[in-house]
């Protein structure tokens, strides 16, 4: 039968209970804070048939060798989107996304200083093909550039359309149906064309020897850039004499021009123009680049709106 605690002695009884609890664990080996509550086990020695009591630690005890919890660094979940915050609007120049992106990039570097160096220099080898729900991000299929992670946004906050080299084709039913759904059904306020450095589609767009017919057709916008910017398309001999920084500079210019081209095409599309007829409708088309070398998003400042 349990004891009846007098009202004035509740605190004292609780203190006594804690003391008796600790006495039960005297002599046992101190364990780390990672251990959890386990039931009392009876361990039987197979040779001597002796039974010894194994008393697990009910709660972590801080030893003199362990630093106080306040001095421990928190675990950085840099690869997980923040699903606890509310994504309401991006009216202040989309600073929310850029600030989150910087936090993410910095936290990744804390975990692995060479993360972005390896990301930029190692080719992708994905095992899954992901066709990636309120704003739409028109971006490349490259598996190294996940929109939700680099923008540090949660599930349900980005409606993503992915294809090689972030192209927009008004004769492609997939492009058009996703644009219609995003603009007319989801009522998105921002359409973002996000290219990225080290883009294989851009790098190989003008290499006829490795492209088949479908890719040649799909990358036609990039191939047309050669007419206006022939200096961005060096031949194989010229390119072999260039250093890495020169090649990277040319590549980024191509990426930028391609993003601007797609921003203009989307802005001139009938779906967007219809939305802009509504005076109350908020809808902007932006051009960004994701830099694999440092993990930062870059605004090209080519935003189009009504």
CA distance 215 to 37: 59
What's the mean pLDDT in 227-237? 90
What residues form the annotated binding site? 140, 142, 196, 199
What's the mean pLDDT in 234-262? 93
CA distance 206 to 223: 6
Secondary structure element (H or E) that encloses residue 52, with its range? strand 51-54
Contacts of 303 (CB under 8 A, 6+ apart): 284, 285, 286, 287
Determine the pLDDT at residue 275: 96
CA distance 16 to 137: 61
CA distance 4 to 2: 7
Beta bridge partners, 304, equal: 285
Active site amino acids: 140, 142, 144, 196, 199
What residues form the annotated binding site for Zn(2+)? 140, 142, 196, 199
How confident is the model over 64-123, as pLDDT tens digits? 444 443 444 444 444 444 544 544 555 555 777 888 889 889 998 898 888 888 878 876
CA distance 144 to 292: 9
With H, G, I as helix, E, B as strand and everything else as coil, classify residue 257: helix
Cβ–Cβ contacts within 10 Å for residue 203, how many? Answer: 15
Domains of the chain (ranges; CATH) run 7-70 (no CATH), 95-305 (3.40.1050.10)
């Amino acid at each position: 039968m349990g004891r009846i605690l007098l009202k004035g002695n509740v605190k004292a009884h609780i203190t006594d209970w804690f003391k008796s609890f600790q006495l039960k664990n005297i002599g046992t080996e101190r364990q780390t804070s990672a251990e959890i509550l386990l039931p009392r086990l009876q361990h039987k020695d197979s040779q001597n048939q002796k039974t010894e009591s194994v008393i697990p630690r009910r709660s972590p005890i801080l030893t003199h060798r362990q630093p106080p919890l306040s001095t421990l660094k928190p675990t950085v979940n840099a690869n997980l989107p923040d699903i606890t915050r509310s994504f309401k609007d991006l009216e202040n120049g989309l600073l929310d996304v850029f600030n989150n992106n910087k936090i993410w990039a910095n936290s990744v570097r804390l975990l692995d200083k060479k993360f972005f160096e390896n990301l930029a220099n190692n080719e992708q080898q994905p095992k899954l093909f992901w066709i990636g729900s309120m704003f739409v991000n028109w971006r490349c299929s490259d598996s190294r550039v996940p929109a939700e992670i680099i923008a540090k946004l949660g599930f349900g906050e980005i409606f993503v359309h992915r294809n090689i080299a972030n192209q927009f084709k008004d004769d492609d039913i997939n492009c058009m149906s996703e644009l219609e759904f995003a603009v007319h059904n989801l009522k998105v306020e921002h359409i973002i064309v996000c290219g990225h450095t080290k883009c294989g589609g851009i790098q190989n767009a003008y290499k006829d020897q490795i492209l088949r017919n479908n890719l040649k057709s799909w990358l036609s916008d990039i191939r047309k850039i050669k007419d206006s910017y022939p200096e961005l398309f060096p031949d194989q001999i010229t390119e072999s004499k260039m250093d890495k920084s020169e090649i990277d500079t040319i590549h980024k210019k191509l990426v930028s021009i391609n993003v601007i081209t797609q921003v203009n095409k989307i802005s001139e599309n009938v779906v967007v123009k219809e939305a802009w007829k509504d005076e109350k409708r908020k809808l902007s088309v932006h051009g960004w680049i994701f830099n694999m070398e440092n993990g930062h998003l870059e605004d090209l400042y080519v935003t189009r709106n009504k």
